[in-house]
Structure 1
Amino acid sequence: MTTSVPSRPFELYDATLRDGMQGEGMSLSAEEKLRVARKLDELGVHLIEAGFPASNPKEQELFALLAQETWESSRIAAFGMTRRRDVRADQDPALRILADCFCDVTTIVGKTWGLHLEKVVRVDPAENLRLIADSVAFLVGEGKRVIYDAEHFFDAWRDDREYAHRCLRAAVEAGADTITLCDTNGSSLPMQVHEAVRAVVDELGEHVRVGIHAHDDAGCGVANSLLAVQAGATHVQGTTNGIGERTGNANLTTITADLELKMGIRSLPEGRLAKLTETAHFVDELLNRPPRTTQPYVGRNAFAHKGGLHVAGIRADASTFEHVDPATVGNARDVLVSELAGKGTVIEKAAEAGLSVDDAQAVRIIDRVKELEHRGYQFEAADGSFELLLRRETGTYDPLFTLESWRVIVEQRAGGQVETEATIKIWIGDERFVRTAEGNGPVHALDRALRSAIGQVHPHLSDIELVNFKVRILDETKGTGAVTRVLIDASDGNRTWGSIGVGENLIGASWDALVESLAWAEQPGRRGPQLAAAPAEVESA
């Protein structure tokens, strides 16, 4: 892609705190929004759209918090709309709030598409031009930098090109610093965006900065943003991780890396791109949603390699199967283990665990993995269990105990209350331990009984927390007799690892995964002081 050097400094505009919150299930408190803004400031985003200062009590609280902050890299933008049709701009309450806000940047959105003039705001085209011009001029007169978002611009462009241009010119002549061309419906394709942006830049680019605001309804949000930049846009709006209404906004996380690593456009202060993965995951965690593992650049699997040939390639030269160095965006390479793995995968995973395997052992381990995955195991998300498999095959496995038996009793009382009790009988050396514990489900009861039995011998287990418990039915056609796969994620506060159990009995599979999760933490080289974490109450299905 050939891209000319922008004539103006390039800027990123993050709309997560407003536009992103319009996505289903997206909600943050004022304090959480402040934490996101701080993180974006650390990343080096130029502009952070915080929303409308007085639309509700939460936004009032947010703007009060933002006003007290000192920002290193970012400027906060307040958001609003053009004046109401029956009120002068200087008397419009919403515009007055923007004028009085501490933010020196205001973004206002206005109509461009004839369909909306007719069906939504019901004003004639001439009056709409006055709404735009009056609103921009008023805020400029109040000392604000005004960014004008031309809503539905690309739909308007295809419908009535001349009128779409007139709307932009009204904003420019009134003093707008930036005009943002919005693909509000996400309906446009990259070639359409490129053509329209190029025309606008040719006509108005000498007088104003041109920007792009894309949505992802046609799956083109990132591509449309990049094509707009190629056509001359120097202002890009989007949201962290692409969250937003319907299918989401253009993913600013991906765009940021593409601009710098693929198009040679510095979009962040030097060295800040390495914070990209951390920032993306931080926002997802605050939103209480798991980070998308396949997200470009920052996903857990963005630099994960599974096929044996691929692993061999990256061992020889990482550029054979990695388009950028993972460290440039703060991510890391991962080698996944599966039936597709080759000797190189096994050797590399063994080295990560501090183990040494020769070629013959690697082949034997691959055969064992293939056999287990045929039975329903999957080691990609169970790195702890795979290391234990390596240790068993190399003779370095240190078992926690020897099992004699375990039993779980689940009883429902007449009042509807369900009680669960587990009893385990194990041997540690020559000593026999029998423990009984209650829990809120079979796995929780087994976990408590096991920890009670071996806690004195293995005190480090008090630091282990079960942080995730997932059950999958592998052959649904067999109903309750189907094979079940159980995955458990455990953490000691510093590290997180996965373990797996598979079997026709759900509780049995859960027990196997539970034991593996604890056994991994007690292997040679894994023990030691860690951050304390209370045991979680994991309930079995």
Structure 2
Amino acid sequence: MAFDHSKYRPFAPIRKTDRRWPDRVIESAPTWCAVDLRDGNQALIKPMNVQQKQRLFDLLVKIGVKEIEIGFPAASQPDFDFCRKLIEEERVPEDVTIQVLTQARPELIARSFEALKGARRAIVHVYNSTSTVQREQVFGMDREGIKGIAVRGAEIVKQHAEQNPQTDWTFQYSPESFTGTELDYAVEVIDAVTGVWRPDQGQRVIINLPATVEMAPPNVYADQIETICDSIRWREHVEISLHTHNDRGCGVAAAELGVMAGADRVEGTLLGNGERTGNMDLVTAAMNLYSQGVDPRLDLSGMREIIETVEACTEISTHPRHAYAGELVFTAFSGSHQDAIRKCLTQRKDGDVWNVAYLPIDPADLGRRYEEVVRINSQSGKGGVAHVLERDYRISLPRWLQIEFAQVVQREAENTGGEIDSRSIHQLFERDYLNIAAGWELHGYDLHRGDDGVEAALSFGEISLRGHGHGVVEAVVAALQQHCAAEIAVEAYDEFALGEGTAANALACIRVLINGAPFSAAALAEDTTSATLQALLSAVARAGVTSHNAAPAAATA
């Protein structure tokens, strides 16, 4: 089959010269309505049973969703049974409103009210398709005929509500496939429906404007929403709701722009489950607000529980790169990213505004650990490796050793072809830098300081040496040069005091040139002098030099 783009036509833009939404900023969260139990459920290969629905309903309540579409009771016996269970067992909290969906058909509306009998508060969501393609190719009806279905549905909803005054009713209407409906006609149908329900007289009414199939860029959807808000009757008495899908991958973006364009309410599902490419993702939309300092009015701090519950109920795995929720979204493998994260976290103080490179939000806010932020593979660099040693072993390396050791880790990652965990990194550091060769373990030292410098005596293995120099290191180097008959020069060394709770109190890292060749080592000890001298001995041992005075054979670390 040919890949032929010419069969498609671009979506006609809205001719609008008075756009206001591009200059608006979302300063408060919309009303959220979760449709996981209806829209999300009908998209599953294996629809949820009553027990799974109850578990997901309880989760939605726990995180703070106040309006929950629980099903399509007129079309499914399990949905009907679940609705009855919630009402009869009084499982709906006082501050939560349940919602059911029904087509604008008399018998289905009647069955929906039967399912809701006895509810404290409920939303009846009635819909019929108004788009051009549905009118012309599916129903074969003209504008008046389709509008007549909507009006009759509204009248029947009102009649049933009047017969059940014990429930606080909200009426919701969706011109299904709104984005494919001419705007002037959408306004005509909406006004006809609200003319029956009369929101101006106190009846709560929601007008839901669904992108049943995402057909255009999100800015076009925003234009459509702003046009409706400007054009319908009784706008001040009506709540405008959005219901976007993700066919173009822009479901969240369309919803955000739609709220900027005047919408009051957003329908979606946790983690975006839904037909085809999915519904608008409530987690992503809410966390986007949170990351901008806006209270999302949802508590998503228990992200692990949210993921586990949604996966158990839908039997759909969460992508590891799913925004905010995925296993790897706060993980950096890139060396430059790791280095930037490490430096920002090191400088950050409690109470500071969050401003960390490559981390748009604090992972801890979602119950994630900083241990997950930096992970090491062949793409990682010195910053990531240094971060892992600092984080897990309280080992701080000087920059020169970070660069050198990162190459060791990279070679290992390339050889194994995958990720290297923290324990393996520490084992590599021990093998190549901390390990003490046989016969080179420091037993003791004695220092005498005089006006002309330092006299140092030290013993290691079966050897005792003495040397003189301006400082301790210079004195010991002088002794080793004579002992090994080699030219030894210290190129760099650093000492670090370790934090509390470690067996050793000091770390020393040293790099020496032995007959012009570089060798590095590190050592842990109770004091910085012992650590420095042991690191120096280990570096010389790594060179494999022979003893001028029959010293023990030097084994490389």
- TM superposition score normalised by structure 1: 0.64
8 Å CA contact 2:34, 2:65 repeated in 1: yes
1:63 is the counterpart of 2:63: no
- Distance, in Å, in 2 between the alignment partners of 1:365 and 1:62 is 60
**Deviation sequence 1:97-138 (CA, Å, 0-9, x none):** 356373611212222113212332344322322321232233
Structure 2 residues without counterparts, runs of 5 or longer: 1-21, 162-167, 198-203, 346-355, 436-557
Q: Deviations over 1:249-305 (max 9, x none)?
A: 11111011123433x554315xx2423554244312433343211111222222112
Q: Deviations over 1:179-228 (max 9, x none)?
A: 11111111121111111100111223323111111111111111101110
- How far apart are the structure 1 equivalents of 2:101 and 2:423? 48
What is the aligned partner in structure 1 of residue 102 from structure 2? 80
Q: Which residue of 1 aligns with 2:133?
A: 115
1:172-183 paired onto structure 2 within 5 Å: 172-175=194-197, 177-183=205-211
Q: How far, CA to CA, are the matches of 2:74 and 2:334 in structure 1? A: 54
Q: Structure 2 vs 1, CA of residues 298 and 388 (structure 1 numbering), >3 Å: closer, same or farther?
A: farther
Please, which of 27, 32, 45 is the counterpart of residue 65 of structure 2?
A: 45
1:321 positional shift: 2.0
Q: How does 1:389-538 map to 2 (within 5 A)?
A: 389=428
Partner of 1:349: 388
Q: Give the match for residue 410 of structure 2.
A: 370
State the 1:34 CA deviation: 0.8
Distance 1:4 1:314 in 2: 29
1:337 aligns with 2:381: no
Task: Choose 137-146 or 178-187, whichever is displaced more.
Answer: 137-146
Bigger radius of gyration: 2
Going from structure 1 to structure 2, the CA distance change for 1:193 and 1:364 (only over 3 Å counts) comes to same
Hey, what does 2:351 align to over in structure 1?
A: none
For residues 122-133 of structure 1, the aligned pairs below 5 Å read: 122-133=140-151
Are the equivalent residues in 2 in contact too, given 1:210–1:233 (CA < 8 A)?
yes
Map of 1:279-298 to 2, 5 A cutoff? 279-298=306-325
Distance change >3 Å, CA 361–CA 261, structure 1 → 2: closer
Q: Is the CA contact (8 Å cut-off) linking 1:222 and 1:254 kept in structure 2?
A: yes
Counterpart of 1:316 in structure 2 is 343
Matching residue of 1:214: 244
User: 1:145 corresponds to which residue?
Assistant: 170
Q: Tell me the residue number matched to 2:327.
A: 300
Measured in 2, the distance between the counterparts of 1:239 and 1:97 equals: 26
Kindly indicate whether the alpha-carbon contact (under 8 Å) linking 1:339 and 1:366 is maintained by their aligned counterparts in 2: no
Residues 32 and 295 (structure 1 numbering): CA distance in 2 closer, same or farther, change over 3 Å?
A: same
**Where does the alignment leave 5 or more consecutive residues of structure 1 unmatched?**
84-88, 397-541
Confirm or deny: 8 A CA contact 1:109 1:149 kept in the other structure.
yes
| Structure 2 letter corresponding to 1:343 | K
- Partners of 1:207 and 1:285 in 2: how far apart? 40
Q: Report the counterpart of residue 228 of structure 2 in structure 1.
A: 200
Within-5 A mapping of 1:267-286: 267-268=296-297, 272-276=299-303, 278-286=305-313
Q: Which residue of 2 aligns with 1:358?
A: 397
C-alpha spacing 1:383/1:187, structure 2 compared with 1 (3 Å): farther
Cα distance between partner residues in 1 of 2:207 and 2:47: 29
Residue of structure 2 in register with 1:261 after alignment: 291
Between the aligned partners of 1:80 and 1:104, the Cα distance in structure 2 is: 13
279 and 387 in structure 1: CA distance in 2 versus 1, 3 angstrom threshold? farther
CA change 1:5–1:303 in 2 (3 A) is: closer
Q: After superposition, give the CA deviation of every residue in 1:142-174 in whole Å (9 maximum; x if it has no partner).
A: 052012122111111xxx322121122122222
Provide the rounded CA distance (Å) in 1 between the counterparts of 2:312 and 2:428: 32
Letter in 2 for 1:177: V
Work out whether 1:165 is the aligned partner of 2:165. Answer: no
Does the aligned pair in 2 maintain the 1:216–1:247 contact within 8 Å? Answer: yes
Instruction: Tell me the amino acid that sits aligned with residue 210 of structure 1.
Output: I
Structure 2 counterpart of 1:13: 33
Deviation at 1:12, TM superposition (A): 0.5
Distance 2:250 2:81 in 1: 35
Q: Say if 1:357 and 1:394, in contact at 8 Å, map to a contact too.
A: no
Matched, 1:328 2:365: yes
8 Å contact from structure 2 (residues 311, 318) kept in 1? yes
The CA distance in 1 between the partners of 2:108 and 2:81, in whole Å, is 24
Deviation, 1:315, is: 2.2
CA pair 245-394 structure 1, distance change in 2 beyond 3 A? farther
> 1:335 is paired with a residue of what secondary structure?
coil
Distance 2:270 2:84 in 1: 23
Give the Cα–Cα distance (whole angstroms) in 2 for the partners of residues 184 and 301 of structure 1.
Answer: 31
C-alpha distance in 1, partners of 2:231/2:115?
29
Identical-pair percentage: 23
Question: Are the counterparts in 1 of residues 378 and 419 from structure 2 also a CA contact under 8 Å?
Answer: no
Give 3-state SS (helix, strand or coil) of 1:78's partner: strand
Shift of 1:393: 5.4
Conservation of the 8 A alpha-carbon contact between 1:34 and 1:65: no
CA distance in 2, matches of 1:91, 1:298: 38
Are 1:134 and 2:166 an aligned pair? Answer: no
Q: Name the structure 2 match of 1:229.
A: 259
Query: Does the CA contact (< 8 Å) of 2:174 and 2:208 recur in 1?
Result: yes
Cα 1:336–1:136 change in 2 (3 A) is: same
Whole-Å Cα distance in 2 between the matches of residues 64 and 48 of structure 1?
A: 15
My pick for the range that moved more, 245-254 or 97-106, is 97-106
Give the letter for the 1:313 counterpart: A
- 1:188 paired residue among 206, 213, 216: 216
Normalised TM-score (structure 2): 0.62
- Relative to 1, partners in 2 of residues 1:286 and 1:94: Cα closer, same or farther, differing over 3 Å? closer
SS in 1 for 2:301: helix
